[in-house]
Amino acid sequence: MMKPQTVPPGPRGFQVFTGSMHFARNPLGYMQYVVKKYGDAVLLTAPNGGSFYLFSHPAQIEEILVKKNNYFKKDIFTRRLSEILGRGLLTSDGEHWLRQRRLIQPVFSRERVQSYSSFVLDYAKECAEKWEDGSTIEIHHAMMNLTLRIIVRAIFQIEAEHFSERVGAALEAVMQHQAFRLKFPAPAFLTTTRLLSINRRYTRSLGELDQIISEIQKEAMSQNEEAHNSLLEALASAKDESGSMDEKQIRDELMTILLAGHETTANALTWTFILLSQNPACYGRLIQEVAALSSIDFQSLYSLPYAEAVIKESMRMFPPAWSIGREVVEECEIGGFRLTTGTQVGMMQFITHRDSRFFENPDEFQPERWLDGKEKNLPRFAFFPFGGGQRMCVGSNLAMMEAVLCLAQITKRVKLTLDPSSDVRPFASITLRPRGPVHMKVEQL
């Protein structure tokens, strides 16, 4: 029988009210504050009166994601994303998730990922070469367009440029809605004029995303001479002892891969160019590494250790997926604290990745911390940008390949300088984007 444990420390009484106000203004800053004040395990009260545990130590995170993962399912916030993604890998649980994972895993094999590298490089080269010397670009918009082209080509073997503006507008509405819901999780009938407007845009955007997926599928089917090498074909042909996926399952996985697969990589690249511009010495070292290569291909990944370190350091400081949530399905003990069924649990990459116990000068951009085997000295789950355990991101290999090759291919051609007027504060929604437009000046190399 499990021994009773005291609950973790955390804000109490009036502090809950003031904390909710601070969280609404600055979710990341407030969570950093409570962890610094109360420690690795914190009991928090949400604005809607619910409570959840925030765990920040790598050992606790490993307990939840690996050692005791069967005691948990997806948290309530993640399950709400089924409004957008359906029952895809990100939102599903249990036998349904396990079956889908088995069917989808081969879709992201090393061989298939390698086969995509040629158009990743082509698109990145084209992106950089169309920027005129001395011009100013909005880097997040540019990276969203680039990674959307890549993921649509991978899934459907078609071009996606004519869909990019529609996808971008729909995603912006979705992100605003989810950020508002995160800060103010009020019942639907407690609405404000602003919330009503956000809800209307959100509803329209869900319909628009469904329509876009349908249009892309139809276009892919009309150009099916290359479909044999697409993720769509791989999903449609995936089978196990209980059969193949039905149309709804394929749609849900396509939506998950399309949205999660380009949004997160675009954010990683955006933060990377921001950080490089703010750290000229690091940028210079990266330019030298890339310039030493006569050309760039998939095998160049083995010759770009600093580029890979730059991407890792960017994801350490601004992880595209900045938080992971779980809900307890069977009573268990984590970090010495007893968790009852239904308890909501959070783990924040943004917090753990900036812990000075594991990363010296954690607020400084230092790609060198990922070189010369230093990463081996880190505790497991001190760095977990793709999650961990059996639910680790299925597309992590594709994401890293894409990010490193895009970074190298663009850096070989241009240098980007941040406009001082840009708003580079992080915006915490489903992912971690910059809050406002980020303008960068182009210098052709």
Per-residue pLDDT tens for 339-358?
999 999 999 999 999 999 99
Q: At what angle do helices 164-183 and 139-156 cross, to 10 degrees?
A: 110
Write out the E strands in 40-167.
Answer: 41-45, 51-55, 72-74, 136-138
Question: Range with the lowest mean pLDDT among 14-28, 335-349, 389-403, 429-443?
Answer: 14-28
Residues with Cβ within 8 Å of residue 318, at least 6 apart in sequence: 267, 268, 271, 275, 350, 426, 432
Using a cut of 0.85, tell me whether the model's pTM lies above it. Answer: yes
Considering the domain boundaries, does residue 232 fall inside one? yes
Q: What is the CATH number of the domain that holds 414?
A: 1.10.630.10
Residue 387 has pLDDT above 80, yes or no: yes
pLDDT class for 227, splitting at 50, 70, 90? Answer: low
Would you give the end-to-end CA distance of the chain in angstroms? 67
Q: Tell me the H-state helices in 343-395.
A: 349-352
Tell whether 5 is covered by a domain. no
Does residue 9 lie within any of the structural domains?
no
Would you say residue 175 lies in a domain?
Answer: yes
CA-wise closest residue to 102 among 260, 249, 210, 248: 249
Pairwise CA distance, residues 214 & 370, whole Å? 42
Domain count, the chain: 1
Specify if 8 maps to a domain. no
Residue with the larger pLDDT of the pair 46 and 127: 127
Residue 7 in any domain: the answer is no
- Specify if 6 maps to a domain: no
Phi and psi, residue 334, nearest 5°: -125, 125
Confidence (pLDDT) at 1 = 46
List % helix, strand, coil for the chain (3-state, nearest 5): 60, 10, 30
Please give, one letter per residue, the 3-state secondary structure of 145-167.
Answer: HHHHHHHHHHHHCCCCHHHHHHH
Would you list the DSSP string of 387-442?
Answer: --GGGS-TTHHHHHHHHHHHHHHHHTTEEEEE-TT----EEESSSEEESS--EEEE
Residue 363 three-state SS: coil
Find out whether 120 and 405 touch, Cβ atoms under 8 Å: yes
- Say if 144 falls within a structural domain: yes
Q: Which domain holds residue 307?
A: 14-444
Q: Which residues contact 26 (CB under 8 A, 6 or more apart)?
A: none
